[in-house]
Amino acid sequence: MVRDFVLWTRQVDKFTGAKNLPGPRLPVNRVTGKKVLTARYAPATINHTLSAVHEFYEFHRERGEGPLVNPRFRLLAGRMGITTRWTTFTPTRRRALRQKDSQPLPRAIPDASFNELFRKLKSHRDRALAAFYVSSGARASELLGLTGDMVNYGDQLIGVVRKGGARQWLPTSPDAFVVAALSARPRNTR
């Protein structure tokens, strides 16, 4: 039953209702860099559906309203890499009938678009934050918490407070420090 469902979802076109099916398109949106949706179901959609059906059967089994055993979905039980305070992480193989879902690569903004964005920023502080964001890989919330003592101009490092509360020093580009120095310079008040 489950195997037939997975094979069916891999072969049929998505149900689009009254929408028109997309015509021929480029494989990637030129502006955003996102993949254009196809007419077939994505592996992540198939995996999500399998998980939802499994949880549906588990819910009714636990309440005593359904079958005593989750029919044919018991091979799909469990998730990889989930860690709670009661269990520890144990790497496992992908479950039977789960689709291999490729991890998307990070999208890049074209140089011309970034330069245009950089020019439109009104203050050196905003430019410094954008330069640190692009060159260090820090989260935006971590950069907004930067203070003067967290910027090491000599070693070209910035100290960010990570999610756990620990400070981590990240290397950034020399150009980001030039812009940061401009933002730290006192303004002329004449």
* pTM of the predicted structure, to 2 decimals: 0.49
Length of the chain: 190
Q: What is the pLDDT along the chain (190 residues), one digit of tens a residue?
A: 778 888 888 888 887 665 555 556 666 776 676 777 777 888 888 888 888 888 888 888 888 887 776 665 544 444 444 444 555 656 666 677 778 877 777 777 788 888 898 999 999 889 988 999 988 989 888 888 888 888 898 899 999 998 888 889 999 999 999 988 888 776 665 5
What is the SS3 assignment for 51? Answer: helix
Calpha distance 95→75 (Å, rounded):
7
Calpha distance 151→159 (Å, rounded):
6
Give all domains of the chain, ordered by start, each with its CATH number: 2-76 (no CATH), 111-184 (1.10.443.10)
